[in-house]
């Protein structure tokens, strides 16, 4: 009876995880999310917490494969446990003798992928029904796994496109802001809106397919975490340092701000990341101060609301294997 109960609970757990991961568009299931989180930490440890290690660039598709295998193994284990709960749940098709433990494992594995070879069959009508349920679930698992991979890989491509787009803007926040200030106001507004739209799309992909968080680039200029942290510095400069006469229209900077709020909330939710409570070092941006004379002294009170998001990016950079920027 205990095997039957564990088998049923395991079946419900894996099916709910598959459905939530592939269909809900609300992030990975409980098993998938935690498995990816702990495996990534293990890979990062093997790489010496060095984001430049090429090995880490293979982790994304390795994690995808491990997740799919985990679903199959759990489903197989669930069916096997249920079969083991009763002696004659599976019998030899010719002799009608009960199957032993290993043949029940064999029967369970075959039937979640195919209809078996016919050498072993369910012992009665109840087990015929259970076998059909698992055969149907196995078919659905294989189908949904394939259909899940396509949008995931598409989201990974969009993530890399965003990283390249942000890298093209400039090597650091100071350069990007300096270039923006050379543009006409409407051009700056348009660029901010375009970036906000791309960030919103990336955020929603992140919500639907959290696994893309672990598709790592070992090249800093292509690392999405570093590029978004750089973009956040640009927002930080515009919002808190740029004098009013130089600032873009409020609606455009608010759009970027809302995009960052949405992103930081979702990335914390889907990755179960523990924040590093230490605030990152504040930047002085001396080049902008001396060249453009348009930075004001930051007001500590106005920065309080943004500190939590600064912690998120600081944590993301470190947990992706990179060292935070210092003065």
**Quick one: pLDDT at residue 250?**
84
Residue ending a domain, among 146, 172, 193, is 146
**Does 265 reside within a domain?**
yes
d(CA 14, CA 78): 9
**Quick one: pLDDT at residue 106?**
94
My answer on whether 48 and 92 are in the same domain is yes
The count of other CB atoms within 10 Å of the CB of residue 180 is 20
pTM of the model: 0.88
My answer on whether 44 and 187 are in the same domain is no
The count of other CB atoms within 10 Å of the CB of residue 305 is 9
**Does 325 reside within a domain?**
no
**Does 300 reside within a domain?**
yes
Lowest-pLDDT choice from 32-46, 66-80, 258-272: 258-272
Residue ending a domain, among 146, 171, 195, is 146
**Quick one: pLDDT at residue 83?**
96
**Quick one: pLDDT at residue 298?**
60
My answer on whether 49 and 185 are in the same domain is no
Lowest-pLDDT choice from 57-61, 88-92, 167-171, 234-238: 234-238
**Does 326 reside within a domain?**
no
Confidence of residue 190 (pLDDT cuts 50, 70, 90): confident
**Does 126 reside within a domain?**
yes
Region 151-172: mean pLDDT is 94
d(CA 291, CA 182): 13
My answer on whether 39 and 139 are in the same domain is yes
- pLDDT tens, 260-318? 999 999 998 888 888 887 777 766 666 665 555 455 556 666 667 778 888 899 999 99
- pLDDT tens, 308-317? 888 899 999 9
The neighbouring-strand residues paired with 90 are 122
More confident residue, 278 or 235: 235
d(CA 189, CA 291): 23
**Does 43 reside within a domain?**
yes
Q: Give the SS3 label for residue 295.
A: strand
- Is the pLDDT score of 212 beyond 70? yes
More confident residue, 181 or 204: 204
- Is the pLDDT score of 13 beyond 90? yes
My answer on whether 6 and 128 are in the same domain is yes
My answer on whether 310 and 174 are in the same domain is yes
- Is the pLDDT score of 179 beyond 90? no
d(CA 92, CA 119): 6
My answer on whether 44 and 59 are in the same domain is yes
**Quick one: pLDDT at residue 302?**
64
**Quick one: pLDDT at residue 263?**
95
Strands, E, within the chain: which ranges?
Answer: 90-92, 120-122
My answer on whether 255 and 134 are in the same domain is no
Domain count, the chain: 2
My answer on whether 45 and 183 are in the same domain is no
d(CA 138, CA 76): 9
d(CA 100, CA 80): 11
My answer on whether 195 and 235 are in the same domain is yes
My answer on whether 180 and 313 are in the same domain is yes
Nearest to 32, CA basis, from 81, 74, 77: 74
Residue ending a domain, among 98, 120, 146, is 146
d(CA 320, CA 99): 49
What residue numbers bound the domain in which 132 lies?
Answer: 2-146
d(CA 197, CA 280): 27
**Does 217 reside within a domain?**
yes
């Amino acid at each position: 009876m205990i095997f039957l109960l564990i088998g049923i609970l395991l079946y419900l757990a894996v099916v709910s995880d598959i459905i939530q991961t592939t269909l809900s568009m609300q992030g990975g299931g409980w098993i998938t999310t935690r498995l990816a989180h702990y495996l990534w930490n293990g890979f990062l440890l093997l790489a010496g917490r060095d984001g430049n290690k090429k090995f880490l660039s293979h982790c994304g598709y390795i994690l995808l494969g491990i997740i799919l295998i985990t679903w199959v193994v759990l489903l197989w284990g669930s069916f096997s446990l249920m079969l083991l709960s009763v002696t004659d749940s599976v019998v030899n098709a010719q002799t009608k003798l009960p199957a032993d433990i290993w043949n029940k494992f064999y029967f369970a594995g075959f039937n979640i992928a195919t209809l078996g070879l016919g050498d072993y069959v369910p012992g009665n009508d109840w087990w015929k029904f259970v076998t059909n349920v698992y055969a149907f679930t196995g078919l659905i698992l294989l189908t949904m796994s394939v259909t899940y991979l396509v949008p995931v890989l598409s989201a990974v491509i969009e993530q890399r496109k965003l990283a390249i787009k942000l890298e093209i803007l400039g090597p650091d926040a100071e350069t990007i802001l300096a270039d923006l200030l050379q543009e006409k106001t409407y051009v700056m507004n348009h660029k901010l809106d375009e970036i906000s739209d791309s960030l919103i799309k990336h955020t929603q992909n992140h919500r639907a397919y959290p696994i893309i968080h672990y598709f790592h680039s070992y090249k800093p200029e292509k690392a999405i975490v570093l590029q978004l942290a750089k973009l956040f510095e640009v927002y930080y400069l515009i919002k808190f340092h740029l004098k009013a006469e130089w600032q873009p229209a409020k609606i455009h900077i608010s759009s970027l701000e809302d995009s960052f709020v949405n992103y930081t909330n979702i990335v914390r939710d889907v990755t179960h990341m523990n924040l590093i409570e230490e605030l990152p070092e504040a930047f002085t941006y001396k080049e902008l101060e001396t060249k453009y004379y348009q930075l004001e002294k930051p007001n500590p009170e106005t920065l309080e609301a943004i500190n939590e998001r600064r912690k998120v990016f600081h944590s993301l950079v470190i947990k992706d294997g990179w060292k935070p920027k210092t003065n």
